[in-house]
Chains A and B, each alone.
Chain A
């Protein structure tokens, strides 16, 4: 600025220094204070993301060492998109997404309504109980369910065997122990685990949304003679739409990235049930760390990213727009 015009040494002029310092503080200090986030984000967020994008155009075996990669253009993408194993894992993922995602919401919404209307006095306790599975480690959960689903002495099969002795119900149930860890059955077991784990989380989301709905709406409806069901159908459900958009988006993202539960239940991929229960992220992990094809794994990650983007957009079309239109 004007420094060049001043003949006096800057050191001799304390007021100028003070001004500069305050100038500096005003201009840059906020950036310095906020910088830890950006530094961490650059190192652990942006850099790996960009690196994986770069990697997806290369062929690289990590055990060869850093820098020994070879540019292959779109080969990784064309390989993955024509890979039957990838599509099988995608099919498993989508199947699980629907059969473990849908029930979560179909249970959580009425559950939240019931907790709010009927159990309001025990709300905190009940919510905590439902929320507990969400904060429990997925690995611990998968290990416990592993024991529950065991073929020969798992509790679930023992219950089925017991129900079998009942007169009417017995005819509907298989008379042999079900092996849950076959390719065909593992999906159901996985869906049960996921529903159990995440229903509480969604209940909490919906409960907080229901609490935000003005009480007078219900009171007015009650005065007009609306039943509980009508209140739920014509007040709660429409006003929950924005939260539905949010919760369903989270479920889509979470379910498309399902990893720990199948990974532990399938013994890290060593199980014979692997083909039926292998999700896309598990397939990506194995491509990277067991087959050491880093480039192909990176391309799977990006294909999955695009896929999740499309699904979230579709969800936005269903819930998001409607939510805004309803306002």
Chain B
């Protein structure tokens, strides 16, 4: 009798549970969470019984927590946001569902996205671990007021020698620096000159190529800017960096399209109307950033998680909502045809900048992720600062970097 009662009570409890909402946990970092907050009400129109619970942590904490959770298989969310800096590493690991396989069959959606994002989320063995949601087409930001004061035509900066020559003019006429950190010029050259379907640092066979001519040129350009005293030697994401944008002590900056949102919202709102954008010099196209959503293998709500990811990444309304909320540039091609793209961007003096970014996004070559990309990036960063700060000569710095990267590939 007692047992029957317990059973009945259990059944009643389960029935209640079914009538209640299912909870889907989504782990995300700022300010991608703001874009999700705009998308969730739309998602709930389609799935009213799903309660989406956001777990928001700062960028580094979010990815550390995700790494730890993957390591132990405990405390994983149903859906995990992954930033571009981590997607390659997570792709090479075994912690995420392969979305190529059933029941996901994500291959049918791949053509809907900006092509290079698919390569970014694909492991070397072909597994596809995350769906792209936003992208960061690279662009060239400049302060139109400073350039005018120095009598510099922005078109003249479309070659690297022209860029440096303009920098000298700007420095002598206005005292402003050409760029915050000369290293940025090296990096964009490295990323943008990578052959299609290669990693920036490894060739198709996986051998290290960091001593090849395109790296030498990238390093030389950065060193030329540094020795001419044209860079402010300010690291990105520091108070001095924000301050330089506010006060206009730096005339140009290379960055993803998202920099406009950051400048406008918090970094330098008072510089509204003073900035313009153009494509990168010498017909270069590169991507800066981007975010993805993946399903951890240990997730308990995989079917629902997939519905959610499919909704936020492949429906136009969700992508547009995210775009309007935080300026996250949609990875979904169809969303890029939204009329709002032709609207002038007031912060950029009414320029139709989004069309320019869309054009850039479509020209970026697909890169292949390599397991050792992150290590190679940091070793090369050290080599670059040895060249710029310590006066080391370029060939030996690159040879040393190559040796260090090869050592790491155990």
Contact = CB atoms under 8 A, between A and B. Distances in A.
Interface of A: 59, 61-66, 68, 75, 79, 83-85, 146-147, 150-153, 179, 181-184, 267-276, 286, 289-292, 294
A272 B72 CA distance: 33
29 contacts: A59-B410, A61-B92, A62-B93, A63-B70, A64-B70, A65-B70, A65-B95, A79-B407, A83-B407, A151-B232, A152-B234, A152-B249, A181-B233, A181-B235, A182-B389, A183-B385, A183-B389, A267-B237, A270-B235, A271-B238, A272-B181, A272-B384, A272-B385, A274-B381, A275-B382, A276-B389, A291-B374, A291-B378, A292-B93
Nearest to A275: B382
Q: Is the interface of B mostly helix, strand, loop or mixed?
A: helix
Nearest to B63: A289
Nearest to B384: A272
Contacts of B181: 272
B14 interface: no
B239 A147 contact: yes
B352 to A, nearest CB: 33
A289 B64 contact: yes
Contacts of A62: 67-68, 70-71, 93
A272 B67 contact: no
Contacts of A183: 385-386, 389-390
B404 interface: yes
A274 B382 contact: yes
B237 to A, nearest CB: 6
Contacts of A290: 374, 378
Report the interface size class on chain B.
35 or more
A290 B60 CA distance: 10
Contacts of B375: 291
A269 B374 CA distance: 13
A63 B67 CA distance: 6
Interface in B381-406: 381-382, 384-386, 388-390, 404
A171 to B, nearest CB: 23
Contacts of A153: 240, 243
B239 A151 contact: no
B89 interface: yes
Contacts of B60: 268
Contacts of A151: 232-234, 240
B181 to A, nearest CB: 7
B236 interface: yes
Given A62-B68, A65-B70, A289-B64, A182 B237 contact: no
Residue of A65, A151, A179, A274 ringed by the most chain B CB atoms within 10 A: A65
Interface in B41-75: 60, 64, 67-68, 70-73
Contact of A66 (B72, B382, B389, B407): B72
Interface string B84-110: 000001101111000000000000000
Q: Which 8 A-B pairs have the closest CB atoms?
A: A63-B93, A62-B71, A182-B389, A272-B385, A275-B382, A63-B70, A64-B94, A64-B93
A205 B381 CA distance: 42
Residue of A68, A147, A153, A290 ringed by the most chain B CB atoms within 10 A: A290
Interface string B121-161: 00000000000000000000000000000000000000000
Given A62-B67, A291-B374, A150 B239 contact: yes
Given A83-B407, A275-B386, A292-B89, A270 B236 contact: yes
Contact of A63 (B90, B234, B239, B249): B90
Given A147-B239, A291-B375, A184 B389 contact: yes
Contacts, number: 112
Contact of B385 (A84, A152, A273): A273
Contacts of A179: 233
Contacts of B388: 272
A272 B237 contact: no
Contacts of B243: 152-153
Given A83-B407, A267-B237, A272 B73 contact: no
Interface string B161-193: 000000000000000000001010000000000
Given A61-B93, A64-B95, A65-B297, A267 B235 contact: yes
Contacts of B183: 272
A273 to B, nearest CB: 7
A147 to B, nearest CB: 6
Contacts of A152: 232, 234, 240, 243-244, 249
A85 B381 CA distance: 13
Nearest to B391: A184
A59 B371 CA distance: 15
Contacts of A292: 67, 89, 93
A95 B142 CA distance: 42
A158 B203 CA distance: 48
Given A61-B93, A271-B238, 16 more contacts: A62-B93, A63-B70, A63-B92, A63-B94, A79-B410, A151-B232, A152-B243, A179-B233, A182-B385, A183-B386, A183-B390, A267-B238, A271-B235, A272-B388, A274-B381, A275-B386
